[in-house]
């Protein structure tokens, strides 16, 4: 059991080695493509005397991403595309990956995921191997994030929401923002505007021409009248950007360019169960939009939790399969999601090791059979290829390197 978590860069950066070991034990890490870009973006930072070299910062950050229990999510534009074309509606609060192969052996059906390009890059960066493409992308990322025009372009694209104003400010910022949010959602539900909002999404997210044609065709031919029903995910993304605009237009959010960039973290929240940041602006926007079934934890509470788990491990010498300290946010979220009392019962009636091993062998055989074929419904199994270096932290969560732990024991 574990929960998919998304961390923004500063949260990720703030965690030390022991905390990361605990993080990977109780959470599945959903690495967003935005985090990968932000990490690479550091490569083209200017060198500062007596400070860490940009290259070493990227190496350090890449090494914080352990290979096991970590998934790089598909880009949010892919999520938009499949949601708008109607091929997948919900993202189920777990990482969304693009399957490389779909297997159907007749008795077993499943999805096989290979290592993605991003995962390959992260693996190279850990060893300090950067190629010329990395440098170009990094440079491009930095110049783009410094572009002065982006905020103005953003404002002009969102101008149709400029009428949403507070009549009079009352209470604190958060109450004012809530009042604005209610007006915005009112506006976003208006039947006469639905098609216009669909066009706005296509324009704002810069979806390609053929895709746009396919989307409009679906809208017309299926007689849709509500964007939220047509594509819940696109509606969700639109509500984030529109809410941000309404916030700046009422001087309740700052126009900082980095805010505009950070919005992207929220686009990925349907692919996680827990979101963590210490950024006040993101916290405020998260609470206003309230992504479905996603819990929030500040980076400082997360760090505290992980330290408690580490201390518990040191003093007890035990490796736990659930958060060992009840006075933590992590435990509280686990309890809500998994109902830990019920899972105690399940644990008392476990499948035998032999049974589990036999099931595992069967899945591997099916995945390696290469018998491709499409199928409908839920897969029986999902496999994901991950490459580990001997120096990576061991999969068992001991905190030791693989070569000194399970690899040594031949497991
Ligand atoms: Zn081990």
What the block records as the tokens of 118 is 């991003």
Whether the CB-CB separation of 367 and 110 falls below 8 Å is answered with yes
First CA to last CA distance, the chain: 21
Per-residue pLDDT reduced to its tens digit, 131-166 = 988 888 888 888 877 777 889 999 999 999 999 998
Q: What is the number of alpha carbons within 13 Å of residue 199 lying toward its C-beta? A: 7
- CA–centroid distance, 391 to ligand 1, in Å, is 12
Task: Report the pLDDT value the prediction gives residue 171, as an integer from 0 to 100.
Answer: 78
Measure 408 CA to ligand 1 centroid, in angstroms.
9
pLDDT above 80: residue 8: yes
Centroid of ligand 1 to alpha carbon of 181 (angstroms): 49
For residue 337, pLDDT beyond 70: yes
Residue 351 has pLDDT above 70, yes or no: no
Residues linked to residue 393 through DSSP beta bridges, in sequence order: 401
Task: Report the separation in Å between the CA atom of 319 and the middle of ligand 1, taken as the mean of its atom positions.
Answer: 11
Check pLDDT > 80 for residue 100: no
Q: Which tokens belong to 309?
A: 């788990």
Rounded to the nearest angstrom, the distance between the alpha carbon of 390 and the centre of ligand 1 is: 11
What is the whole-number distance in angstroms between the Cα of residue 370 and the centre of ligand 1? 30
DSSP state of 92: T
If one counts every other C-beta atom within 10 angstroms of the C-beta of residue 215, the result is 24
Q: How far is the CA of 103 from the centre of ligand 1 (A)?
A: 30
pLDDT bin (cut points 50, 70, 90) of residue 365 is confident
H or E element that contains 220: helix 209-221
The SS3 assignment for 113 reads strand
For the record, the structure tokens of 212 come out as 């746009």
**Which pLDDT value is given to residue 79?**
96
* pLDDT tens per residue across span 32-47: 999 999 999 888 888 8
Q: Could you tell me the two tokens for 364?
A: 């591997």
Q: Please give the order of strands across the beta sheet that includes 101-104.
A: 101-104, 109-113, 381-384
Query: What percent of the chain stands above pLDDT 70?
Result: 97
| pLDDT (0 to 100) of residue 393 | 87
What pLDDT band is residue 86 in, cutting at 50, 70 and 90? very high
How close is the Cα of 149 to the center of ligand 1, in Å?
Answer: 50
For residue 273, the CA-to-ligand 1 centroid distance in Å is: 27
Alpha carbon 287 to chain centroid, angstroms:
17
d(CA 5, CA 11): 12
What pLDDT was estimated at residue 387?
85
Contact 251, 165 (CB under 8 A): no
Query: Cα separation of 148 and 66, whole Å?
Result: 36
Residue 276, SS3 per DSSP? strand
Residue 18 Cα, ligand 1 centroid: separation in angstroms? 15
Q: What digits encode the pLDDT tens for the residues 280-298?
A: 999 999 999 999 999 999 9
Distance 52 CA to ligand 1 centre (A): 32
Tell me how far the alpha carbon of residue 402 lies from the centroid of ligand 1, in angstroms: 6
Tell me what the pLDDT averaged over the chain comes to.
89
CB 402 within 8 A of CB 394: yes
Region of poorest pLDDT, from 90-94, 102-106, 322-326: 102-106
pLDDT digits (tens, 9 = 90+) for 233-280: 999 999 999 999 999 999 999 988 889 989 999 999 999 999 999 999
Give the Å distance between the CA of 66 and the centre of ligand 1.
Answer: 13
Q: Cβ-count burial of 340 within 10 angstroms (0-12 exposed, 13-18 middle, 19+ buried)? A: middle
Ligand 1 midpoint to CA 385 (Å):
18
- Ligand 1 mean position, distance from CA 361 (Å): 20
- The CA 398 to ligand 1 mean position distance, Å, reads 6
Please tell me the distance between residue 276's alpha carbon and the centre of ligand 1 in angstroms: 28
Tokens 């996680």: give the residue: 272
- Joined together, the tokens standing for residue 209 give 């021409």
Centre of ligand 1 to C-alpha 350, Å, is 22
384 Cα–ligand 1 center, Å:
19
The domain segmentation of the chain, as residue ranges, is 3-143+298-404, 148-267
Distance CA 336, CA 212 (A): 40
Which pLDDT does position 98 carry in this prediction?
82
How many beta carbons lie within 10 A of that of residue 255, not counting itself?
15
Ligand 1 centre distance from Cα of residue 71 (Å): 20
- Residue 380: what pLDDT? 76
Yes or no: say if 26 and 4 are a contact pair by the CB < 8 Å rule.
no
**Is residue 58 a contact partner of residue 125, using CB atoms and an 8 Å limit?**
yes
Per-residue pLDDT for 344 more than 70? Answer: no
Residue 62 has pLDDT above 70, yes or no: yes
Model confidence at 113: pLDDT above 90: no
pLDDT digits (tens, 9 = 90+) for 157-213: 999 999 999 887 777 888 999 999 999 999 999 999 999 999 999 999 999 999 999
Segment 206-226 mean pLDDT: 96
Banded pLDDT at 312 (limits 50, 70, 90) = very high
Please tell me the predicted confidence (pLDDT) of residue 348: 61
17-20 own/partner pairs: CB under 8 Å, 24+ apart: 17/399, 18/306, 18/307, 18/310, 18/399, 19/303, 19/306, 19/307, 19/310, 20/64, 20/66, 20/306, 20/393
What pLDDT is stored for residue 318 in this prediction?
84
Do the bridges between strand 381-384 and strand 109-113 make them parallel or antiparallel, or are there none, so unpaired? parallel
Query: What would the mean pLDDT of 126-131 be, rounded to a whole number?
Result: 92
Of 97, 120, 114, which is closest to residue 370 (Cα–Cα)?
Answer: 114
Confidence of residue 299 (pLDDT cuts 50, 70, 90): very high
What is the distance in A from the centroid of ligand 1 to the CA of 399?
8
In angstroms, the CA 128 to CA 200 distance is: 42
pLDDT at 342: 65
Residue 286 in contact with residue 296, Cβ under 8 Å?
Answer: yes
Query: What six digits make up the tokens of 105?
Result: 């052996």
pLDDT at 154: 93
């Amino acid at each position: 059991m574990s929960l998919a978590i998304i961390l923004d860069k500063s949260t990720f950066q703030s965690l030390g080695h022991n905390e990361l070991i605990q993080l990977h034990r109780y959470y599945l890490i959903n690495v967003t493509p935005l985090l990968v870009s932000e990490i690479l973006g550091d490569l083209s930072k200017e060198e500062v005397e007596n400070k860490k070299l940009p290259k070493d910062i990227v190496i350090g950050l890449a090494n914080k991403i352990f290979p096991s229990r970590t998934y790089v999510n598909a880009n949010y534009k892919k999520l938009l595309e499949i949601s708008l074309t109607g091929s997948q509606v919900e993202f189920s609060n777990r990482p969304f990956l693009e399957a490389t192969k779909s297997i159907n052996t007749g008795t077993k059906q499943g999805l096989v995921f290979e290592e993605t390009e991003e995962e390959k890059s992260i693996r190279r960066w850990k060893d300090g191997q950067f190629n010329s493409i990395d440098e170009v992308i990094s440079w491009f990322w930095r110049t783009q994030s410094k572009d002065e025009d982006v905020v103005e372009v953003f404002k002009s694209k969102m101008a149709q929401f400029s009428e949403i104003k507070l009549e009079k400010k009352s209470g604190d910022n958060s109450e004012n923002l809530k009042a604005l949010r209610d007006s915005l959602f009112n506006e976003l539900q208006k039947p006469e505007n639905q098609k216009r909002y669909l066009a706005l999404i296509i324009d704002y997210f810069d979806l390609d021409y053929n895709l746009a044609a396919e989307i409009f065709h679906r809208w017309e031919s299926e007689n849709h009248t509500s964007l939220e029903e047509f594509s819940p995910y696109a509606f969700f993304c639109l509500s984030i950007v529109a809410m941000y605009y309404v916030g700046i237009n009422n001087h309740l959010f700052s126009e900082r360019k980095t805010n505009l960039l950070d919005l992207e973290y929220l686009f990925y929240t349907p692919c996680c169960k827990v979101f963590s940041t210490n950024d006040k602006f993101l916290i405020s926007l998260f609470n206003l939009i309230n992504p479905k079934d996603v819990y929030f934890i500040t980076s400082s509470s997360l760090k505290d939790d992980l330290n408690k788990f580490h201390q518990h491990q040191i003093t007890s010498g035990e490796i736990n399969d659930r958060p060992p300290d009840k006075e933590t946010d992590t435990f509280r979220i686990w309890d809500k999601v998994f109902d830990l009392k019920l899972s105690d019962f399940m644990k008392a009636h476990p499948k035998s090791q032999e049974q589990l091993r036999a099931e595992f062998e069967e899945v591997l055989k099916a995945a390696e059979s290469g018998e491709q074929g499409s199928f409908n419904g839920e897969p029986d199994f999902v496999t994901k290829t991950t490459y580990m270096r001997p120096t990576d932290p061991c999969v068992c969560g001991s905190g030791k390197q693989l070569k000194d732990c399970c690899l040594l024991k031949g497991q």
